Amino acid sequence: MTDTREVALVTGAARGIGLATVRRLLEDGFHVVMVDQNAQALEASAATLRDTSNLVEHHALSITDRAAVSALIGSLPRLDVLVNNAAIFWDGKFDTATDDDYRRMYEVNVVGTFIVAQEAARVMQRGGRIINIASRAYLAGYAHSAYITSKAGVLGLTRSMAMDLAERGILVNAIAPGLIETEMFRSLTPERQQELIAKQPTKTVGQPEDIANGIAFFASPRTRNVTGQILTLDGGRSMGIAVY
Ligand X SMILES: NC(=O)c1ccc[n+]([C@@H]2O[C@H](COP(=O)([O-])OP(=O)(O)OC[C@H]3O[C@@H](n4cnc5c(N)ncnc54)[C@H](O)[C@@H]3O)[C@@H](O)[C@H]2O)c1
Active site residues: 147
List the one residue from 9, 108, 170, 215 that touches ligand X (CB under 6 A).
108
List the one residue from 68, 88, 155, 230 that touches ligand X (CB under 6 A).
88
Given a contact cutoff of 8 angstroms between Cβ atoms, the answer to whether 75 and 123 are in contact is: no
List the one residue from 9, 16, 161, 212 that touches ligand X (CB under 6 A).
16
Cβ proximity to ligand X: between 15 and 66 the closer is 15
# residues near ligand X by CB under 6 A: 29
The interface region with ligand X, picked from 119-127, 162-170, 173-181, 222-230 by CB under 6 A, is: 173-181
The interface region with ligand X, picked from 32-40, 68-76, 163-171, 225-233 by CB under 6 A, is: 32-40
Nearest to 111 by CA among 84, 130, 90: 84
The interface region with ligand X, picked from 23-31, 119-127, 172-180, 222-230 by CB under 6 A, is: 172-180
Orientation of helix 39-50 relative to helix 16-27, angle to 10°: 30
Report if residue 79 touches ligand X, rule: CB under 6 A: no
List the one residue from 112, 153, 214, 235 that touches ligand X (CB under 6 A).
112
Spatial separation of the C-alpha atoms in residues 2 and 139, rounded to whole Å:
42
Report if residue 171 touches ligand X, rule: CB under 6 A: no
Spatial separation of the C-alpha atoms in residues 236 and 232, rounded to whole Å:
8
77-to-11, 74, 208 alpha-carbon distances in Å: 18, 8, 29
Spatial separation of the C-alpha atoms in residues 124 and 80, rounded to whole Å:
6
| Residue 235, helix vs strand vs coil | coil
Cβ proximity to ligand X: between 188 and 241 the closer is 188
Least Å distance, CB 232 to ligand X, is 10
Length of the chain: 244
> What's the per-residue H, E or C state across 58-102?
EEECCCCCHHHHHHHHHHCCCCCEEEECCCCCCCECHHHCCHHHH
Q: HSE of 20 in the Cβ direction (CA atoms, 13 Å)? A: 17
Report if residue 235 touches ligand X, rule: CB under 6 A: no
Q: Draw the binding track, 174-203, toward ligand X (x: CB under 6 A; -: no contact).
A: ---x-xx-xxxx------------------
Cβ proximity to ligand X: between 177 and 214 the closer is 177
Spatial separation of the C-alpha atoms in residues 21 and 45, rounded to whole Å:
12
Comparing every residue's Cβ against ligand X, the nearest one is 16
Report if residue 37 touches ligand X, rule: CB under 6 A: yes
Which residues contact ligand X (rule: CB under 6 A)? Answer: 11-12, 14-18, 36-38, 41, 62-64, 85-88, 108, 112, 133, 135, 177, 179-180, 182-185
